[in-house]
Amino acid sequence: MQAVASRLDANQMRLVAAYVEKLPIRLPPATDKTLSYVSRRLLVLGDWNHGIPACIDCHGVDLLGGGPDIPPLAGQQASYLARQLRSFRDGLRGSGASLSMNHVSHGLRNNEIKLLASAISKWPGVPMTLDINNRSVLWHPSLQTPNHFIPPVEEQVPPSLQLVAMIRQGEHIFVDTLHYAAKFIGNVLSCASCHLNRGRLATAAPMWAALPHFPIYRKKNNRINTIQVRIRSCFKFSENGMPPPVNSHVMTALTAYTHWLATGMPMGAHPKAAGFPRIAMPAKPVDPMHGKQVFAQRCAMCHGERGQGRVVRGRQMFPPLWGSASFNMGAGMHRVDKAASFIKQLGYISASYCR
């Protein structure tokens, strides 16, 4: 390709790229029966124990990409995908926007790369929806967390089918609040925008670690807060909306999901995995202009040059970080120390980007 590309001028490259972009994408028939547990886990949840985010977090729930810097994967040839993943992992490829793939792939083993490449090559380009009904990888016991606590597995569901349905609805609201609780939010964020990996990821505000703290006194509103009051506060500030009534379907579902995630966690416990890890203030005064440079280099690819987020095929793929479509000044993420801790917790980039 170097020999071929060296003969093309800039205009010819643009013409070729424009032609290829308009070619129809030929995808395999819609089926996920061939997906192994390993590939499903990596596609939908990732492996945060090894710093690997889910493929759909960046490439979309349909794996059809998210713009010029985030290419489509669905239907790509398995051997090509495997070769590129190994190249990223081994440091043989990666520059500019694709540099993050070096960090994303560093924990992948050869067998995982093979299974993942095979699964992506067979994916039909439709949104991935895995839940409690089809033995979702979400509940698998191998998804370990610190402090020796494992959120429940799928076999640990309540005997009541009605409660199982409510837990599942709570998960849907948590992951896609804009769709399932639209009338209560005033922006485009979801609960999972801050509580990573669907509220499961340790030291990323996991819901299972928060629940044992409640009821608790909070200076912010000068009252004893239950978990329901705290969730309603998120709707008001983080989602810039109107708190749902305590006895509403939305609140009942979110509370059921939170309690289910904390199955087995002792009440009154104070796990270290709660919240976000605090980071020390730098010795030098914080320089916003330096931050602007870092944002342009490392964050704008996903969140936009103006922090406006990114919408792809009608779905909010990456959330806005400020402005009317994001959280308001009352949200915890509006605080510099809280936002810095959150960014630091994005483990797969923190070692390289967030020093």
Per residue in 179-232, pLDDT tens? Answer: 899 999 999 999 999 998 888 888 888 899 899 889 999 988 899 999 999 999
Is residue 184 situated within a structural domain?
A: yes
pTM for the model stands at 0.76
Q: Quote the pLDDT of residue 257.
A: 92
Asked whether the beta carbons of 309 and 325 are under 8 A apart, the reply is yes
What are the backbone dihedrals phi and psi of residue 289, each rounded to the nearest 5 degrees, phi first? Answer: -70, -35
Is residue 24 situated within a structural domain?
A: no
Quote the tokens at residue 341.
């801790």
Domain span at residue 311 reads 288-353
Is residue 103 situated within a structural domain?
A: yes
Is residue 275 situated within a structural domain?
A: no
Is the domain of 197 the same as that of 301? no
Per residue in 89-134, pLDDT tens? Answer: 998 887 766 777 888 888 899 999 999 999 888 888 777 654 433 3
Is the domain of 164 the same as that of 255? yes
Single out the residue in 78, 96, 122 at which a domain terminates: 122
Is the domain of 142 the same as that of 195? yes
**pLDDT exceeds cutoff 70 at 137:** no
Among 221-230, 234-243, 337-346, the least confident range = 337-346
Single out the residue in 122, 148, 179 at which a domain terminates: 122
Asked whether the beta carbons of 250 and 232 are under 8 A apart, the reply is no
Among 4-18, 130-144, 201-215, 237-251, the least confident range = 130-144
Is residue 127 situated within a structural domain?
A: no
Is the domain of 88 the same as that of 180? no
CATH of the domain at 224: 1.10.760.10
Is the domain of 254 the same as that of 152? yes
String of b and e for 34-44 (b: at least 16 CB within 10 Å)? ebeebbbbbbb
Is residue 174 situated within a structural domain?
A: yes
Per residue in 271-328, pLDDT tens? Answer: 888 888 888 888 888 888 998 998 988 888 889 889 999 888 778 888 999 998 999 9
pLDDT confidence band for 34 (50 / 70 / 90):
low
Is the domain of 148 the same as that of 38? no
Single out the residue in 98, 122, 146 at which a domain terminates: 122
Structurally, the chain folds into a number of domains equal to: 3
Q: Which of 259, 199, 182 is nearest to 228 (CA)?
A: 259
Is residue 21 situated within a structural domain?
A: no
Is residue 143 situated within a structural domain?
A: yes
Is the domain of 49 the same as that of 98? yes
